[in-house]
Amino acid sequence: MGRRWLFPGLLILRDTLVFDRWRWLARRLPRTRGPARLLDVGCAAGAFSMGAALRGYDVLGLEHDPFSVAKAGRRAAWLGIPHVRFEQADARRLGDRADLRGAFDVVICCETIEHILDDSLFMRSLAGCLKPGGRLLLTTPFAGFRAITRDDDAPPSVTEDGGHVRRGYEPADLERLCVQAGLAVTGFSGCSGVLSQKATWGYRVAGRRLPMLGALAVMPLRPFPPLLDPLVTRMLAWPYYCLGLEAVRGGGGA
């Protein structure tokens, strides 16, 4: 068992948006005992990859930043999480990797597509990594979100410098990309409602100088978004911060 019980700490010490995305993913990743392979594109420091591995998946996490790749590997080893490995890779060049083509039952991609200029090619590359009938789970900012802090209203980058190259997506935008990639959309849903957004505001403001202060400041508020966010968000007609996409690769491929 090792230290796997400490895994939730990787999520609750971050802003509430991160925990929301994991909860969104976990509801769509049933536990498995079979040889199900999962690819996490843009895995950052690997928390979602490790969470998927704990649910029984054989996981490969890809991340562009070598520091994050090394950190993810150290975390997984220290926690004793098996069946997960990490590689440095450029998400824009997934299509060049013959070893990834048609190899995965599930591909997850959280908060990455909005950083990539050629999102059509990127979506086709994600689809190409799936087996026929395989599932894509993707989150990205919703085009109509309300800024949590002023940084959210910064103009999009015009080059791929690590920032967002577009504010976000409407469901129709993602559906168009999926059609071009040979993916059938099976669902859209919101992720991170008003209570989570307000808690994340507190996290960011309190943690400007020291992130741990932000985590401690919002700790007493953490039970409320999972319990009340859907209801309060609906009552206030508040836009969700992120848009969740579920899609399936057709038998013909992309």
- For the four alpha carbons of 232, 114, 65 and 122, in that order, the dihedral sign comes to positive
**What pLDDT, on the 0 to 100 scale, is given for residue 254?**
40
Strand pairing partners for 58?
37
Tell me if 37 sits within 8 A of 101, measured CB to CB.
no
**What pLDDT, on the 0 to 100 scale, is given for residue 34?**
81
Strand pairing partners for 191?
242
Return the closest-CA partner of residue 38 out of 174, 123, 135, 124. 135
Per-residue confidence of the chain (254 residues) as pLDDT tens digits? 568 888 988 898 889 999 999 999 999 999 998 889 999 999 999 999 999 999 999 999 999 999 999 999 999 999 999 999 999 999 999 999 999 999 999 999 999 999 999 999 999 999 999 999 999 999 999 999 999 999 999 999 999 998 999 999 999 999 999 999 999 999 999 999 999 999 999 999 999 888 889 999 899 999 999 999 999 999 999 999 999 999 999 864 44
Total-model pTM: 0.95
- Residue 145 phi/psi, 5° resolution? -65, 155
**What pLDDT, on the 0 to 100 scale, is given for residue 1?**
59
**What pLDDT, on the 0 to 100 scale, is given for residue 169?**
98
Return the closest-CA partner of residue 106 out of 83, 85, 127. 127
- Region of residue 42 (phi > 0: left; psi between -120 and 50: alpha; otherwise: beta): left
Buried b (16+ CB within 10 A) or exposed e, 210-229: eeeebbeebeebeeebeeeb
